[in-house]
Structure 1
């Protein structure tokens, strides 16, 4: 079997195709969760905590050149190393939401996978010759 034939068999196996579909859907789902966190949840959290913008919460680990805006992007573009804890908070919230949604999905799937009722035990059929021998035995005991 040639290398290309082996590769083709590997690539079209169901598990490889399922994995590829899962990765693509997972990537798209990750973007949705990123948007939910960045566009819906973090603004509300920021409002509750005094209009904080988590995306620009950082410590500069070096001196920031004069005239540089105090935003994370501007400081990074200036080549200053930063400790971007606000970005970490956003990513951690993303992870928590994604983990919770996956938990709910797995829980729902497990609920839908009802255990099949156990198969009924097969009825034991006594062979006819055994039945006849028992009848003879029983009639001799009576007689």
Structure 2
């Protein structure tokens, strides 16, 4: 079997295709969750804590060169080492919210699966006439 045909057989297996679809949908869903967190949740959290923007919390680890503004974006652009703990906190909060949303979704999907009525087991079909005849012959021979 050639390399190309082996790869084709591998790529066409159900789990590989399912995984690819899951990754694509997950990436798109991640953008939605990022927007929910950045545009809806973090402004509320910031308002509750007096307008704080966690992503702007950082420590400068080296002297700031002259002429470089003291903002996180400008310091990173200038190559100044910064300990951006606020960005880490924001990303961690995004992850926790994403994990919670996925947990709720999986929980609801599992609940919906449990609510589906189980299929009734099929009643055993009547044996065919020839089977019944053969059984009668067998029983007669055993007597």
Q: TM-score, normalised by structure 2?
A: 0.77
1:134 aligns with none
Q: CA RMSD in A?
A: 2.6
Q: Secondary structure at the match of 1:50?
A: coil
Question: Distance between the aligned counterparts of 1:70 and 1:106, measured in 2?
Answer: 44
1:26 aligns with 26
1:61 aligns with 61
Question: Distance between the aligned counterparts of 2:13 and 2:122, measured in 1?
Answer: 36
Count of paired positions: 129
Task: Output one character per residue of 1:33-88: Cα deviation in whole Å (capped at 9) or x when no partner.
Answer: 11111111111211211111222111111111233222111111121111111111
Structure 2, unpaired ranges of 5+: 125-134, 137-143
Question: Distance between the aligned counterparts of 2:66 and 2:36, measured in 1?
Answer: 36
1:41 aligns with 41
Question: Distance between the aligned counterparts of 1:12 and 1:117, measured in 2?
Answer: 31
The structure with the larger Rg is: 1
Question: Distance between the aligned counterparts of 2:21 and 2:78, measured in 1?
Answer: 40
Offset of residue 28 of structure 1: 0.9
Offset of residue 116 of structure 1: 3.2
1:6 aligns with 6
Question: Distance between the aligned counterparts of 1:84 and 1:24, measured in 2?
Answer: 30
**Matched ranges for 1:51-90 at <5 A:** 51-90=51-90
Question: 8 Å contact 1:59–1:82 — kept in the other structure?
Answer: yes
Q: TM-score, normalised by structure 1?
A: 0.77
Question: Distance between the aligned counterparts of 1:89 and 1:43, measured in 2?
Answer: 15
Structure 1, unpaired ranges of 5+: 129-143
